[in-house]
Structure 1
């Protein structure tokens, strides 16, 4: 009960963004920026304290998508520090789009072992220092006239990570992973078909995207591939509620580090657990979520998620599902762009309560 009360108190702190600074142009209703404090609690971080700001740039054309610049920095009660600089851009009347993320973290995490059903009380603590640059640039040149909604693009990642397990005593049975430090640099291609009416909170349409990324020792210290099929559908539901359905399959082949394998991320795919709480060479996730605007800048959602992992396809099919049922509250950072910050509680495997705070929808 004490554990649950602590989470509910942290959930109450989510009201803090209601006092965020939100500015618009004095001559029209275009919102220039939004700034909110970060004050919350998650399974991986415990208590968080920091701030984030989002700067919006006017679209190239009337009705076009607004370019955004996300800035965030926060520290946690687990002595974790992270900061990021992340533009999301739409250029030439939305003919070119993409994102760029510069990210640094000094992180304390838990390693539960490479398995689908870990013991939540048996883990190895580690310290990780990571800096990475990740970008995805997409375009519809040559395809918009014939296949509206189709985009193709290029993915790049430069990542340097150092993980240290020896700073903590451990008396369990989980073995320390091998091959954790060094450069993880990759390049790949990305294909997508996107008919959504909005990229933040969609109420109509669908998104199908395929990514195939190659990491090679010629560029870094590891050789592996990452494949990902992501399918999402959106529709109207009763009482002016929107419904979102998601399917995600991931596969990793080669000598990938443990934190680059397929598995739960705790924020978007299977919320309420630590990142890579369960993982393997392959992962499968199913999600259903109902979202509803309430009043002023507030909204809410309820969701159900299932996920599992396995080293081979036969393992993946045979292994048991993890299940999660949850609900959350949302605060609009930009109503015109349907951009919301969310805070959600999850009942993981109907045994443990988890909490998640994030900007934008999970899927």
Structure 2
């Protein structure tokens, strides 16, 4: 599947809908590209659809600042052989004042899988259930200086859950089995010294936020989330070889959190290789991953990655014997000639014999 997709992209790039540059006195540049999608993931199986890449540059006369940040938009629509419909757009706006508005919008008709809760669930024992939902999640940040941003995080989500009669969800009856509204808002702060938001090769990013979910602001559940994300990037043996690593921790307090909002450690941006992102979920999660990135030729690149993590209910349950490990490799295709915005394809393997394929936009971290 990976080889087929690369061949498809290689042919499409010659006749892509757009890869244009519009130059004005203030050096505003607008670049865009459009591609069909043929992909595979463990959650959705075969994917067919389309994806677009839009990058807006607003360079100032006389050059850019040390940590110049372009605006990027990546919408896509996908239909899967698992009878899923995914409409998703990622937005990362940087205004001339330095204000950053980054968010993801999702509209999913998404038959999903439930494996239970905890770090020792059985990947072979699960229930397929209906999970149709819409979501708007992101941050609105104001710069304190060129590296420090502060502001608000927000999450608006509505789920329509349709469990099977007599299935695991009905028997275990976790919180949230009837779906409903999740509304959260809270403080956020980022430190960002990366030399690029699209494909960083130097610098670090530290993101932190607290999400307050409650009925008082329109939701149906009361709980608090704490999120920490640290990333570092540097050259290794030359500018075409980049080493990146990430440590991420997500915690939840409160007993009124729906099961579909519990933390996970698997997925295309997390530990890649598990049969499904929901195989291991719980109130707390921590993981570490490292990735070596190599430019190859033309617009193609390759990566090697590895990671380790764990989900748990309370810190007393932390146990080195329960840590899960992954490793894998992947390919990269630069969607635009002059912008390092990649479409990526990865295959990951786990310590318990699972493996998974992924196709996504941007780097995993």
| TM-score, normalised with respect to structure 1 | 0.90
Secondary structure of 1:16's aligned partner? helix
- Equivalences for 1:173-188 in 2 at 5 Å? 175-180=172-177, 181-188=179-186
Alignment partner, residue 6 of structure 1:
none
Deviation of 1:272 (Å): 2.8
Residues in 1 aligned to 2:357 and 2:207: alpha-carbon distance in whole angstroms: 28
1:101 aligned onto 2:104:
yes
Residues in 2 aligned to 1:243 and 1:85: alpha-carbon distance in whole angstroms: 28
CA contact 2:272–2:327 (8 Å) conserved in 1: no
Which of the residues 180, 205, 208 maps onto 2:206? 208
Which of the residues 191, 195, 198 maps onto 1:197? 195
Secondary structure of 2:74's aligned partner? strand
How big is each residue's C-alpha offset from its partner over 1:60-117, in whole Å with a ceiling of 9 and x where there is no partner?
Answer: 5343432222221111000000112333211025x11121332100101111110112
Larger deviation, residues 20-29 vs 307-316? 20-29
Alignment partner, residue 220 of structure 2:
221
CA contact 1:81–1:107 (8 Å) conserved in 2: yes
Deviation of 1:171 (Å): 8.2
- Equivalences for 1:1-363 in 2 at 5 Å? 9-18=1-10, 19-20=12-13, 21=16, 22-25=18-21, 30=29, 32-61=31-60, 62-63=63-64, 64-93=68-97, 95-140=98-143, 143-144=144-145, 148-166=146-164, 170=167, 175-180=172-177, 181-218=179-216, 219-239=218-238, 240-254=240-254, 255-273=256-274, 274-317=276-319, 320-349=322-351, 351-363=353-365
Larger deviation, residues 63-72 vs 203-212? 63-72
Residues in 2 aligned to 1:360 and 1:176: alpha-carbon distance in whole angstroms: 37
Segments of 4+ in structure 1 off by > 6 A? 26-29, 171-174
Alignment partner, residue 5 of structure 1:
none
Alignment partner, residue 4 of structure 1:
none
CA contact 1:66–1:90 (8 Å) conserved in 2: yes
**Structure 2 residue ranges without an equivalent (≥5):** none
Q: How has the CA–CA distance of structure 1 residues 257 and 173 changed in structure 2, closer, same or farther, with 3 Å as cutoff?
A: closer
Larger deviation, residues 246-255 vs 261-270? 261-270
CA contact 1:14–1:343 (8 Å) conserved in 2: no
CA RMSD after TM alignment: 2.2
Deviation of 1:238 (Å): 1.9
Secondary structure of 1:24's aligned partner? coil
| TM-score, normalised with respect to structure 2 | 0.89
Secondary structure of 1:12's aligned partner? helix
Residues in 1 aligned to 2:304 and 2:192: alpha-carbon distance in whole angstroms: 24
Q: How has the CA–CA distance of structure 1 residues 67 and 26 changed in structure 2, closer, same or farther, with 3 Å as cutoff?
A: closer
Residues in 1 aligned to 2:6 and 2:131: alpha-carbon distance in whole angstroms: 28
**Structure 1 residue ranges without an equivalent (≥5):** 1-8
Deviation of 1:34 (Å): 1.1
Deviation of 1:135 (Å): 3.0
Deviation of 1:189 (Å): 1.2
Residues in 2 aligned to 1:173 and 1:324: alpha-carbon distance in whole angstroms: 32
Q: How has the CA–CA distance of structure 1 residues 173 and 108 changed in structure 2, closer, same or farther, with 3 Å as cutoff?
A: closer
CA contact 2:236–2:243 (8 Å) conserved in 1: yes
CA contact 1:60–1:91 (8 Å) conserved in 2: no
Residues in 1 aligned to 2:199 and 2:224: alpha-carbon distance in whole angstroms: 31
Q: How has the CA–CA distance of structure 1 residues 129 and 29 changed in structure 2, closer, same or farther, with 3 Å as cutoff?
A: same
Deviation of 1:260 (Å): 0.8
Deviation of 1:286 (Å): 0.5
CA contact 1:215–1:225 (8 Å) conserved in 2: yes
